[in-house]
Amino acid sequence: MTEKRRRLSRDDWVAAALAALAEGGMGAVAIEPLAARLGATKGSAYWHFANRDELLRAALQHWEFDETDAVIALVSAEPDPTVGLRTLLGTALSHPQANVAVMLAGVNDPLVEPVLTRVTNRRIDYLAELFTRLGFTGDAARHRATLAYSAYLGTGQLWRTAPGALPADSGAWDSYMDEVWKALTATE
């Protein structure tokens, strides 16, 4: 008796494309290897997407929503900007690996680069808004936002390439985050 395959959804293909992008870069987002990974036929992909570029666009749209729009909405619901920014930084810095991998994978790709530019600008703008709500003005808020985002990208790269450089236990991590917080919010 043969086992009946589960019909894959559009979301299954999008998730597989994002995982492949995070793990192997742009070259890993190809229909045939993704089909093998999912135990499916290429026809399943083409049922949902006209081609690889359409799949990639859908994956990037999903990534942008989950990793930017939804996060901003969640943090914006917090009335205290100190709590919101501290929560955002703690969460983003503790697990940036896959997110940063997606960002690094698409540099110089004509489909991905405009999305990365939009996401980066939106994130820095939102961070600047939070720093403004904390009392920093103009350039100071923007510079701190850029520094915070740089810390995020750098931490993601360290998690991927040199995880031993980052604090390993929760107490050391909390101490590290306190120092990051002090550096970003110091007034002198």
Task: State the pTM of this model.
Answer: 0.88
Alpha helices in 25-137 (DSSP H): 31-38, 42-48, 52-64, 70-76, 81-94, 97-105, 113-133
Confidence (pLDDT) at 3: 52
What integer is the mean pLDDT of 50-68?
93
**Token pair in block for residue 138:** 């103009």
Tally of residues, the chain: 188
**25-56 tens-digit pLDDT:** 888 899 999 999 999 999 999 999 999 999 99
Q: What is the mean pLDDT of residues 83-106?
A: 78
Among candidate residues 130, 126, 122, the one with its CA nearest the CA of residue 82: 130
For residue 21, pLDDT beyond 50: yes
Query: At residue 157, does pLDDT exceed 50?
Result: yes
Sign of the Cα torsion 178, 183, 185, 188 reads: positive
CA dihedral 114, 90, 14, 162 (to 10 degrees): 80
Q: For residues 21 and 99, which has the higher predicted lDDT (pLDDT)? A: 21
Q: What's the mean pLDDT when you consider all of the chain?
A: 88
User: Helices 113-133 and 97-105 sit at what angle, rounded to 10 degrees?
Assistant: 130
pLDDT tens digits, 121-144: 999 999 999 999 999 999 999 999
In this structure, are residues 169 and 94 in contact, taking their beta carbons and an 8 Å threshold? Answer: no
Please report the pLDDT score of residue 98 as a whole number: 64
Cα separation, 105 vs 144, in Å, equals 26
Mean pLDDT for the stretch of residues 137-158: 92
